[in-house]
Amino acid sequence: MKLLEEVRIGNLGLQNKMAMAPMTRSRADLNGVVSDLTVLYYAQRASAGLLITEAINITEQALGSPFTPGIFTYEQIVAWKKVTNAVHDKGGKIIAQLWHTGRVGHSVDKGGVLPVAPSAIAIQGQQHFTSQGPKEYETPRALETKEVKLIVQDYKQAAINAIEAGFDGIELHAAFGYLPNQFLVESANQRTDEYGGSIENRSRFVLEVMQAMVDGIGENKVAIKLSPSIPFNSIIDSNPTELFSYLLKKLNNMPLLYVQLMNAMFPTDNLPQYPRDVIGTFGGLTKHALMANGGYTRETGEQELEKGIAKMISYGALFLANPDLPKRFELNAELNHPDRATMYGGGEKGYTDYPTLN
């Protein structure tokens, strides 16, 4: 199977072409520090070619949901070092996904402070999970230009912190409606400064963040995740094909580790401008190693690799429920089913208690 073949991405030799996709698990403490359970969780899944962590808040401001981890304090970095050591001891490789949620948050979990965003535009038609239950989204505070530039530096420092914590690299979470994605699209970005208006200006924040992180930690250690055809969190653009084509071509100028593209995971019948075949539309535009994400099975992942565009496939819920997923794919063994009720928050149940084959 191509999925089980070794592969080299940048300077990383990987034991197979299967990555564990980043998945929020909400099991850090209120200070954003991960526990020994998290160490066990990632170590259990170290047979993945590459582990990508749950999204990690780069600063206190970045936090959107309770019990999500950070990487901006000494205690947080030390806790993550236990995770990376455990994964490396098992022969695995692990990447930190860096996160700023922007407007995807609520003041009840931010000390009464409003979320920030490119523009003062609230998410519509959804509620946010908070420590006090589901709540309607608030109108965020629009960032000043000087604040945007400070957040670029926050990402750089978070990348440096991740390397200090022993990670093999970092991935910018620029997908699914979080802050970098908010800068990219017209529905969330109505700025009139250098970060708004044209496609070039709306792409500026993501490109500056990526360059700052490359400057901070070096070549072949920085990756990015994009979701060109996902309208979730009120992310709408009139021409996503032109937007993401421009962005991918600009990213070709940087020495990146990989680009991860999410498939269209939501109905887009009323958004005909959104490409359904994300990998086919955008995959050929990047010169970097391409990772395909979103809804793949053993069979469809193999088929995607056989097309020759993607170099790796990332699996989310299947890895959540099957710590030994590569072995199960090798044997075509029966899979555990993920328990949706225990995905977010709690203890070991639905986290570290999924059985392996042996």
Residue 357 lies in a domain: no
Query: pLDDT band at residue 268, thresholds of 50, 70 and 90?
Result: confident
- Structural domains of the chain, count: 1
Residue 297 lies in a domain: yes
Q: Pick the range with the lowest mean pLDDT from 247-251, 261-265, 317-321.
A: 261-265
Show the tokens assigned to 202: 């709306």
- Helix, strand, coil content of the chain in percent (nearest 5): 35, 15, 50
Q: What is the pLDDT of residues 69-83, one digit of tens each?
A: 999 999 999 999 999
* Model pLDDT, residue 34: 98
Residue 349 lies in a domain: no
- 178 a catalytic residue: yes
DSSP state of 114: P
Residue 355 lies in a domain: no
Q: Which residue has the tokens 């420092």?
A: 157
Q: Average pLDDT of 297-315? A: 98
> How many residues are present in the chain?
358
DSSP letter string, 335-350: PPPP-GGGSSSSSSTT
* Model pLDDT, residue 230: 93
Residue 127 lies in a domain: yes
The CATH number for 241's domain is 3.20.20.70
Per-residue b/e over 270-287, b at no fewer than 16 CB within 10 Å? eeeebbeebbebbbebbe
Which residues neighbour 80 within 8 Å (Cβ) at sequence distance 6 or greater? 34, 56, 69, 71, 96, 162, 165, 166, 167
Task: Characterise 97 by phi-psi region: left (phi > 0), alpha (psi -120 to 50), beta (else).
Answer: beta
Which residues neighbour 147 within 8 Å (Cβ) at sequence distance 6 or greater? 116
Percent of the chain with pLDDT over 70: 100
Q: Are 87 and 93 in contact (CB under 8 A)?
A: yes
Phi, psi for residue 147 in degrees, rounded to 5: -70, -40
Q: Pick the range with the lowest mean pLDDT from 245-254, 265-274, 324-333.
A: 265-274
Residue 269 confidence (pLDDT) above 90 = no
Mean pLDDT score across all residues of the chain:
97
Show the tokens assigned to 313: 């496939």
Catalytic residue among 178, 258, 274, 351: 178
Residue 319 lies in a domain: yes
Domain that holds residue 22: 2-342
* Model pLDDT, residue 45: 98
Q: Can you give the pTM of this predicted structure? A: 0.97
Q: How many CB atoms lie within 10 A of CB 226?
A: 27
Residue 114 lies in a domain: yes
Show the tokens assigned to 91: 């022969």
Residue 356 lies in a domain: no
Mapping DSSP to helix (H, G, I), strand (E, B) and coil, where does residue 222 land?
A: strand
Which residues neighbour 91 within 8 Å (Cβ) at sequence distance 6 or greater? 15, 46
Q: Average pLDDT of 280-302? A: 97
